[in-house]
Amino acid sequence: MNYRQFEQTPDGLWRLGGEGIGFELDKPAAGLFTLTPFDGLTVTSLEAVPGEYPESMALAGLRRPHHSDDGAEVSFDSESRIPFGIPTVITHRYKLDAASLAVQTGFELPHAFELRSLTAGGLRFRGAIAEYAIVKSPSAEGIVKEPAMKPFDASGAELYKDAAPPLAILIRLADGRVVRFETGKDVWRWANAARIGDGVSTFIVRSEGGDLICTWSLYVFAPADAETPPPPGRNWNITWSLQWGEPAAADGAYADVLDLRAECADCACAQATENFLKKWVRTRLASAKEGDVFAVMIGGGRFCRRAGHLDRGRKKDLPHWDLPALREFARWANRQLRKSGASLVLITEKEY
């Protein structure tokens, strides 16, 4: 990566300085972003709407950029306050490297806030979209199989609508480049309306004017009778990411390959699996040298419902998937290995 830091412009925007990925914060509104991962594609975040006041009416609060020492990763914390009605706060934490953007969005909704509706925004993809695929949230545990791409209908079609979020959306441009949206491992937080009760969630993917648009309605109050009061406000967090390039594979044999499928039966969200993966990396740090590429072979993202994997033993059923957890592990591993000029990639059997 050639860029090193965020820079504030005279018009108040925060831009990623230097060459490379285009990323602007507080555009088109406070807390939102416009991302150009590569020429020919623009991704714009859509505003959240907690209750009746949209994020575009928020006042920009705390803005805090962070940069890694080697410039390979940057992150940014933003806070925006909606002062109208019952004041609410929307926070975003962005983590960006050369091939991905990871996001945590949070809502601080006071107890006095009546939870009648909460829209978490969404994304607009603009470019020469040729094909797409939507990975649905499965009902059963197991490895998530991704469907084949199909032609993109740009005529204004509804491509997906469900109470559960899509685990992933794959978009291929006319020139063959691919970008992925992935829901975070916290699938249960996205689909929490059923647990709260008296409300529904709706996730929609559609085409509009040649763009692909995703909208995320986390909660709409829908009581069984008119006497039921809306639930009180609560803090709510969701995570998600965009991926637009995998790290380069080794030009020959890998320095070492870990077949995670053979070593760990649990999903990668389990603490035991995370500990095993990090120990495996640490034992290779001493011998890692310039140009080494280590690989972890995965079968694919695993969908799981065991709440114990998330340190929530009192719960019985919390749907999650571990591909985002594996990507976070890979980011951590590469921070360690970069000091020696080495790197780590996640691979599947067909890539080995």
What is the count of structural domains for the chain?
2
- Residue 44, phi then psi, degrees to nearest 5: -120, 130
Residues 130 and 102 in one domain: yes
Distance CA 296, CA 36 (A): 29
Whether the per-residue pLDDT at 63 is higher than 80: the answer is yes
Residues 214 and 311 in one domain: no
Residues 48 and 158 in one domain: yes
Residues 91 and 196 in one domain: yes
Q: What is the mean pLDDT of residues 178-195?
A: 94
Both structure tokens of 254:
């890998």
pLDDT digits (tens, 9 = 90+) for 262-311: 888 889 999 999 999 999 999 999 899 999 999 999 988 999 988 888 76
Residues 178 and 314 in one domain: no
User: What is the pairing mode between strands 150-151 and 129-135?
Assistant: antiparallel
Both structure tokens of 98:
């050369």
Give the model's pLDDT for residue 1. 44
Domain encompassing residue 262: 256-351
Q: Which residue among 209, 243, 277 closes a domain?
A: 243
Residues 52 and 157 in one domain: yes
Residues 229 and 163 in one domain: yes
**251 part of a folded domain:** no
pLDDT digits (tens, 9 = 90+) for 316-346: 788 999 999 999 999 999 999 999 999 999 9
Residues 88 and 181 in one domain: yes
Q: How far apart are the first and last CA of the chain?
A: 26
